Amino acid sequence: MNRRLNIGIIGAGRIGKVHAETLAFRLPEANPAMIADVNPEAARSVAERCGIPRVAADAAEILSDPSIEAVLICSSTDTHAKLIVEAARAGKHIFCEKPVDHSLARIDEALAAVERAGVKIQIGFNRRFDANFARVRAAVANGEIGTPQLVHIISRDPAPPPVSYVKMSGGMFLDMTIHDFDMARFLIGSEVDEIYAAAGVRVDPEIGAAGDVDTAVITLLFRNGVIGTIDNSRKAVYGYDQRVEVLGSAGSIATGNCYANQAIVSTAESVHRDLPLNFFMDRYTESFVAEMKAFVDAVLEDRPTPVTGADGRCPVVMALAARKSYEERRPVRLEEVAAPAVAA
């Protein structure tokens, strides 16, 4: 019988539940052995649904158990860096949801602990594992569309989050655009040198009152000469809008939205179809499975993880640069915000 990876899950909220179900029902090579949450009832509920045999009192119980080989950190963002340090010291391989932290100093401390311990870390940028975006990356990487020149990323949510979330999330650039910053680096395969962000409050005045923005267009200047744009909105009334286009010297490649069905209704009045999928959990279901399989395989086969600690750090630098650009109304070079990423 093939060996299974014993995994502890820290956090039984929305994303913790998704990963627990993936491990339990989709990845036979994984064994979700223990789960903990600050809300014990939430942990018990997920454990019962997923057949997880042990509910831990806290993260420390998971980290101190020698049978646990890897941990998933799915707790609130403000706990990520500390838990990474503790997990690394305990010799556990780590999957951590994004962002690692809002502070580059704390991110660097966490990644340094990982490097000292010699454990693996993967950051939860699941969109890299979406089949559509992976196909765009392949077309760029293999020269299918020639030399890339422009990349346009559209990312619009179906509805804004609660203002209470905005107040603690770090703002739109850190909680929403961070996915698009990672996607830009992933698709083009080059680092970004400079960012300019034009942003405002066009959706909900309460978001502005909380000190954030809800609408933005961000220009990226890549080191290899590519010019990028990211188009963000907290509210698209027609659903979850996730599109990408890359223009190259020999052609272009684009992906559209995903739909619950492919039916087209044609009448004398109009030709139309149903709205796109309305929630990220529906749109990216398979990408969550693929990213978790990549992590489990990397540990079991002793291979590098596909989304490193450095990959987790870079989008935070980009988000901080975007915020600085918005506040100061000027282009900002990433070197103004932080030194180059730490390898991990």
228-254 pLDDT per residue, tens: 999 999 999 999 999 999 999 999 999
pLDDT for 79 beyond 90: yes
- The CATH number of whichever domain residue 87 belongs to comes to 3.40.50.720
> The domain containing residue 49 runs over which residues?
5-119
Average pLDDT over residues 119-131: 98
Q: Give pLDDT, residue 342.
A: 43
Q: Give pLDDT, residue 280.
A: 83
| Whether the bond into 99 is cis, omega within 30 of 0 | yes
Same domain, 328 and 228: yes
Same domain, 329 and 238: yes
Q: Give pLDDT, residue 339.
A: 60
Same domain, 86 and 220: no
Q: Give pLDDT, residue 1.
A: 46
Same domain, 237 and 189: yes
Residue 299, domain member (yes or no): no
5-33 pLDDT per residue, tens: 999 999 999 999 999 999 999 999 999 99
SS (H, E, C) 1-49: CCCCEEEEEECCCHHHHHHHHHHHHCCCCEEEEEEECCCHHHHHHHHHH
Average pLDDT over residues 118-133: 98
Same domain, 155 and 258: yes
The token duo for 141 is 């990487």
Which percentage of the chain shows pLDDT scores above 90?
Answer: 95
Average pLDDT over residues 283-306: 97
Residue 344, domain member (yes or no): no
Q: Which residue(s) pair with 232 in the sheet? A: 155, 216
Cβ atoms 270, 264 nearer than 8 A: no
Pairing of strands 70-73, 93-96: parallel
Which percentage of the chain shows pLDDT scores above 70?
Answer: 98
Residue 64, domain member (yes or no): yes
Same domain, 46 and 134: no
Q: Give pLDDT, residue 136.
A: 98
94-110 pLDDT per residue, tens: 999 999 999 999 999 99
pLDDT confidence bin for 301, thresholds 50/70/90: very high
Q: Any idea which residue has 């309305």 for tokens? A: 278
Q: Any idea which residue has 């806290």 for tokens? A: 58
Mean pLDDT of all residues belonging to the chain: 96
- The CATH number of whichever domain residue 179 belongs to comes to 3.30.360.10
159-202 pLDDT per residue, tens: 999 999 999 999 999 999 999 999 999 999 999 999 999 999 99
State the Cα–Cα distance between residues 305 and 326, nearest whole angstrom.
Answer: 34
Same domain, 132 and 265: yes
Residue 245, domain member (yes or no): yes
| DSSP state letter for 210 | T
Same domain, 229 and 189: yes
Residue that wins the pLDDT comparison between 51 and 2: 51
Same domain, 51 and 132: no
Same domain, 159 and 41: no
Give me the sheet containing 54-55, strands edge to edge: 54-55, 30-36, 5-10, 70-73, 93-96, 121-123
Residue 301, domain member (yes or no): no
**Alpha helices, DSSP H, located in the chain:** 14-25, 40-50, 59-63, 77-89, 104-117, 131-141, 163-169, 172-175, 177-188, 205-209, 280-283, 285-300, 309-328
Q: Give pLDDT, residue 341.
A: 46
Residue 304, domain member (yes or no): no
Q: Which of 119, 148, 169 is the last residue of a domain?
A: 119
Q: Which of 119, 145, 163 is the last residue of a domain?
A: 119
* Total tally of structural domains belonging to the chain: 2
Q: Which of 98, 119, 140 is the last residue of a domain?
A: 119
The CB-side HSE value for 299 (13 A sphere, CA atoms) comes to 27
Same domain, 42 and 171: no
Same domain, 196 and 322: yes
Average pLDDT over residues 199-217: 97
Residue 342, domain member (yes or no): no
Residue 317, domain member (yes or no): yes
- pTM value is 0.95
